[in-house]
Structure 1
Amino acid sequence: MSDVAISSAKQAVTKGNLTEDWLALVIGVLVFALSLFSLGGIDLLGWAVTTSVYTDLGKALAPVAKGYAALGGLGSLAATYVSLLVVLTAGVAALGGDIKRFILAFTIVFAIAYASWIVGSYAYIAVVTPADQQKFGISWSLKLTNEGGFIVALVAGLVIANIFPRFAEWLKEAIRPELYIKIAIVILGATIAVTAAGRLNLASSILLRGVAAIIEAYLIYWSVVYFVARKWFGFSREWSVPLASGISICGVAAAIATGGAIRARPAGPVLVSSLVVVFAVVEILILPF
């Protein structure tokens, strides 16, 4: 990668007082720290919204913890939106972003994203087993699980991007896939660590499988994909590295994390992530058969 590319990448990521990587770490650790209060019987995050498979829309949403049942589904959804908006707006301010535009754009993106997830959780789309079909009183289902919401979101994104390009451009201030995925990686890593620490058998299994996965993914698949991308397709290192990570390790998360580590311009990891999502959607539709 040329010095100019490296410089532009750094400027794209670092616009304020924090880098995107450090911001993701701070937010992820903050969420993890708040979750630790539950060890003392104080649930500070139980108000977050969760979505269940449903036929009655009024029963689709609920707080994660029963102790916050008084909030109701819409109340927990509102609390989730407000908390995300406050934390992420502070982060965008630290990165030097346009706060007013982010607030407006994030509100719209959040509404579209969660509406897609709710649609994907509809029983006729999500239910998988015959027992669950009987439970909900339905005779058929697409059997996509509630992850069918990803397909709905993908379709919504394609419609907006291709039919309303100016609107899509305006929304870009709130569409920060690298930041969101990095935050998720930090939280997921902390969750796995705590779970493994509490279960010795699980911890040993994770360590054993982790070593095997490292040897397989890093030493075999990664190097093969990188070689093919460079030798046969003529991709630059900036594109080949996230591509190799995305294919060999862990899809979107690996591509985004690797792109940030090598200071790649955002376009590369984002396009690799889009490629992964497209193939995942195709697999979701085809593999059940």
Structure 2
Amino acid sequence: MAYISTEKKSTVPSGGKLNLGKQDDYWAMWVGLTIILLAIVFWSTGYNFMNWIVIKIPSYNDYSNPLNYLSSHKSALFSLYLFFLTLFLIAIKALTGEVKRFLVGFTFLFGLSIVVWVLGSWDVMKTYNIETPLIALIVGLLISNISIIPYWLSTALQTQFYVKLGIVLMGASFPVTLIIQAGSTAFAQATIVSIATFLTIYWTATRVFSLDKRFAATLAAGGSICGVSASIAIGSAVKAEKQHVSIAISLVILWSILMIFILPFAMRTLNILPGPAGAWIGTSEFADAPGMAAAAAISEQAIKTFTLMKVVGRDMFIGIWCFIMALVSITRWDKRFFSSKPDARDIWTRFPKFVIGFIIASIIITILTPPSFGENTQAITKNVILPISELRNWAFIFTFLSIGLSSRFKDLTSGGWRPFAALTAGVLVNIPLGYLLSVIIMGNYWTTIK
């Protein structure tokens, strides 16, 4: 399938030893923290490089305006391209080794991102609240479903790497005090949602549709923890068939894309405030990247509460779930094979390392911007935090374009109706439960998160 071919399936060999150089989690963390440290160094030395390369096309109603803007900023735009390309090539060299093809593919992706930014800045798009990430997804979907994506381009569609990088960079706009304050609440809410959704999908798949237990667990993980990454990790932990993992990934992507449109529409219809809206998306969306697109369609506050709920709350579950499901698989489903007992170290092995990068970024910026710094804090905000936030937006545009360009609806719906129905049962629990927890019960709390 088109989407699956662009992702790393596993970075943990059968022997259990972790190859750090092959994990996009680690490279997203390292590249993200490098960008943050470079921003700090440039600011401290008085070289305003980060603000110079940040390209933000102003709103317009005449197409000559963005063209003139790009023409006058072409040197900065080319420098931004080289900045991303240099850092990404280092990571791709370690991850896939396909440096030449990535160079060509990323060049096309970057050019397409500029087109998306131009469309997203158009007054018509602003009037109808059609945000840039959603435009990127639609553009990607149109291209991938009309034509065949060449291999040289597919090597640049590193969806997981881009979204994890964007989340690490987002840490620069999160005071660590906010993470500590909201972490326990997000984790508690995530626990309720994850368990309820997992059990619903698993029970429906095994009892109603008589699907294989390992297949059911893989589907349930994708719908209850963190989307594609969870399906791959849990599928590996319970030794599910590769075909079943592929089907689970496809269905998770399909529902994730659908909820990008469903959730923001529901929130606007119900007049839900941005804070609870972001938490609801973080509770109900399956995957990080589509959830970020849905949150971006609401507001910056929604992005923050989504991140706290999804990244700090749900994503951190993956290591624990892998260990538990591996234990269940060995002791309950296949008692003959005790030679491969689950190891508690798998919790660390499966833990999403980019979350650590997110927290480190938050700690760095919190240390640099204590309330007592006054004007210095304002200078850091202007010259460090805001440019990093704009670079984060570019990373997310790469993400949404990659999702669209990697997803063909024909492939996403090829798994049959029974797995789709089982996952849909989880959606029917997930969305109303997310609304109940995020809007009704915890709505006042999530509104206070700014």
Report if the CA contact (8 A) 2:217-2:235 is conserved: no
Report deviation, 1:84. Answer: 1.2
What is the SS of the residue equivalent to 2:259?
helix
Render the CA deviation track for 1:163-188: whole Å, top value 9, x for unaligned: 212x3554211101011111122222
Cα distance change, pair 81–263 in 1 and its aligned pair in 2 (3 A): farther
Task: Please name the residue that 2:421 is paired with.
Answer: none
Whole-Å separation in 1 of the counterparts to 2:40 and 2:105: 32
Render the CA deviation track for 1:230-255: whole Å, top value 9, x for unaligned: 12134443342232124xxxxxxxx3
Matches within 5 A, 1:107-186: 107-126=107-126, 141-144=127-130, 147=131, 149-165=132-148, 167-186=149-168
Matched, 1:208 2:181: yes
Report if the CA contact (8 A) 2:57-2:118 is conserved: yes
Task: Please name the residue that 1:9 is paired with.
Answer: 10
Report deviation, 1:225. Answer: 1.0
Q: Which deviates more, 104-113 or 39-48?
A: 39-48
Task: Please name the residue that 2:261 is paired with.
Answer: 281
Alignment-mate amino acid for residue 223 of structure 2 = L
Alignment-mate amino acid for residue 189 of structure 2 = E
Whole-Å separation in 2 of the counterparts to 1:230 and 1:190: 38
Matched, 1:223 2:195: yes
CA RMSD of aligned residues (A): 3.6
Render the CA deviation track for 1:86-114: whole Å, top value 9, x for unaligned: 21122111223322211111111222233
Render the CA deviation track for 1:170-212: whole Å, top value 9, x for unaligned: 42111010111111222222431xxx26xxxxx3x55333221
Whole-Å separation in 2 of the counterparts to 1:33 and 1:176: 23
Whole-Å separation in 2 of the counterparts to 1:72 and 1:206: 40
Of 26, 33, 40, 1:29 maps to 33
Render the CA deviation track for 1:264-283: whole Å, top value 9, x for unaligned: 68955676355323311344
Report if the CA contact (8 A) 1:16-1:94 is conserved: no
What is the SS of the residue equivalent to 2:56?
strand
Whole-Å separation in 2 of the counterparts to 1:26 and 1:172: 23
Render the CA deviation track for 1:25-58: whole Å, top value 9, x for unaligned: 2101101111223256443422221233222445
How many residues of Structure 1 are paired with residues of Structure 2 in the alignment? 240
Report deviation, 1:11. Answer: 7.2
Cα distance change, pair 231–15 in 1 and its aligned pair in 2 (3 A): same
Q: Higher relative contact order at CA 8 Å, sep ≥6: structure 1 or structure 2?
A: 2
Whole-Å separation in 1 of the counterparts to 2:251 and 2:199: 19
Report if the CA contact (8 A) 2:202-2:219 is conserved: no
Matches within 5 A, 1:71-82: 72-82=72-82
Alignment-mate amino acid for residue 225 of structure 1 = T
Whole-Å separation in 1 of the counterparts to 2:35 and 2:228: 21
Report if the CA contact (8 A) 1:182-1:256 is conserved: no
Of 52, 57, 61, 1:55 maps to 61
Task: Please name the residue that 1:100 is paired with.
Answer: 100
Whole-Å separation in 2 of the counterparts to 1:206 and 1:61: 41
What is the TM-score normalised by the length of structure 1?
A: 0.68
Cα distance change, pair 288–173 in 1 and its aligned pair in 2 (3 A): same
Report if the CA contact (8 A) 1:34-1:44 is conserved: no
Cα distance change, pair 24–261 in 1 and its aligned pair in 2 (3 A): farther
Cα distance change, pair 213–286 in 1 and its aligned pair in 2 (3 A): closer
Cα distance change, pair 183–116 in 1 and its aligned pair in 2 (3 A): same
Alignment-mate amino acid for residue 92 of structure 1 = I
Any unmatched runs of 5+ in structure 2? 1-7, 207-214, 237-241, 270-450
